[in-house]
Amino acid sequence: MPVSNYQLISAWKQVLTLSRLERGQTVTILTGAATHPQTLDCALIAAQEMGAIVNRLDLPPVNGEKAHSRDSLAYLGTTPLTGNPAAIAALTASDLVLDLMTLLFSPEQHAILATGTKILLAVEPPEVLVRLVPTEADRTRVKAAAARIENAGEMHVVSAAGTDLRCRMGEFPVISEYGFVDEPGRWDHWPSGFALTFPDEGGANGTIVVDKGDILLPQKRYCSDRIVLTVEKGYATKIEGGIDAELLSDYMAAFDDPEAFAISHIGWGLQSGARWSTLGLYDREATIGMDARAFEGNFLFSLGPNNEAGGSRTTTCHIDIPLRKCTVRLDGQEVVRDGKVLDQAAGA
């Protein structure tokens, strides 16, 4: 159901306030061919009403001839900023960039953040943005979960479906996503709500079972049968099962890159407003599936790159898979039990 401009402007102003936007600061809104016009219009109005100096930078799409999906996370190669110093200069001269295009997993994004510029990604439909406006409580909860990860050396994930995965941790930083950018050089995504890190290189081993009803992204598909991944020294060495396993294997093989099969980020969802069931209510091209990534109690793992956390793996293939009904342990202590976040562990 559509939302009014009034509602979306109000939501933008809440997020910009949480992001500590001050009068006289420069905001550049980064847009592309897939930017939602209502999201753009309301962002422009909200930022101007708050006294910001507002610019819009519109860039042409890239990678369309290479990607197998129109999803903005389906192919992580070059971006419209690659080899474009004039555009990069405009963004680094800004206090805040509102990314309505998607710059994820790009060296250009890292370079911009390194100057102290903040970047907030917002590409979900307007009604999702309004429904999942972040709060200070989200920040508190996610930061508490992140602190638990930072103090642990191993994440162990099990489920009744058969998942039994152990990941050594400590080599890479912990990332908190709570939906706004309140510190210089911070990146975040509205909507979100999860804590994550990346296993040590070669440090993930075991079995992951993607059960019926679990979700594949960017396919945006609920699994109809089980997929069993064998994980050895940080890589999925086998993908077994029925038609869903075949579809996943064929999609990943199209990238012709063994790094696509590496275990990427690991963590769990903490957004109580997000729902597992929401993905089934949207056309596949209408959303990138943030409800699926962030719903409370999921175990979210991915396959592909780790350069977002400072690693060297830059494969263009990125798969996110949120699992339900898992138990997550940090150094033996449960933080999620059978898909339910333990309040004392989450800091709620």
User: Can you read off the two tokens belonging to residue 27?
Assistant: 């905001």
Q: Is the pLDDT of residue 182 over 60?
A: yes
Contact 228, 240 (CB under 8 A): yes
User: Can you read off the two tokens belonging to residue 98?
Assistant: 């509102």
Contact 45, 69 (CB under 8 A): no
Residue type (1 letter), 195? A
The confidence band for 123, taking pLDDT boundaries of 50, 70 and 90, is very high
Q: Is the pLDDT of residue 23 over 60?
A: yes
Q: pLDDT tens-digit profile of 236-288?
A: 999 999 999 999 999 999 999 999 999 999 999 999 999 999 999 999 889 99
Q: Is the pLDDT of residue 343 over 80?
A: no
Q: Is the pLDDT of residue 303 over 50?
A: yes
Domains of the chain and any CATH numbers? 5-131 (3.40.50.980), 136-346 (no CATH)
DSSP-derived letter for residue 344 is: H
Residue 298 CA neighbour count, 13 Å, CB half: 33
Mean pLDDT value across residues 306-310: 82
Buried b (16+ CB within 10 A) or exposed e, 295-325: bbbbbbbbbbbbbbbeeebbbbbbbbbbbbb
Strand ranges (DSSP E) for the chain?
Answer: 26-31, 53-58, 96-99, 118-121, 154-159, 164-168, 175-177, 187-189, 194-197, 204-210, 215-216, 221-222, 227-232, 235-241, 263-269, 299-303, 319-323, 326-330, 333-337, 340-341
Q: Report pLDDT for 199.
A: 97
Mean pLDDT value across residues 182-198: 97
CA distance 240 to 277: 25
% of residues, the chain, pLDDT over 70:
98
What does pLDDT average to over the chain?
A: 94
The confidence band for 111, taking pLDDT boundaries of 50, 70 and 90, is very high
The confidence band for 344, taking pLDDT boundaries of 50, 70 and 90, is low
DSSP-derived letter for residue 262 is: B
% of residues, the chain, pLDDT over 90:
85
Burial tier of 138 (Cβ tally within 10 Å: 0-12, 13-18, 19+):
buried
Q: Report pLDDT for 67.
A: 72
Q: What angle do CA 145, 327, 202 make, to 5 degrees?
A: 80
Q: Tokens 């990332």 sit at which residue?
A: 175
Q: Is the pLDDT of residue 345 over 50?
A: no
The confidence band for 78, taking pLDDT boundaries of 50, 70 and 90, is confident
Q: Is the pLDDT of residue 163 over 50?
A: yes
Sign, CA torsion 241/221/133/49: positive
CA distance 159 to 336: 11
The confidence band for 105, taking pLDDT boundaries of 50, 70 and 90, is confident
Q: Is the pLDDT of residue 136 over 50?
A: yes
Q: pLDDT tens-digit profile of 26-75?
A: 999 999 999 999 999 999 999 999 999 999 999 998 877 777 777 777 77
pTM over 0.75: yes
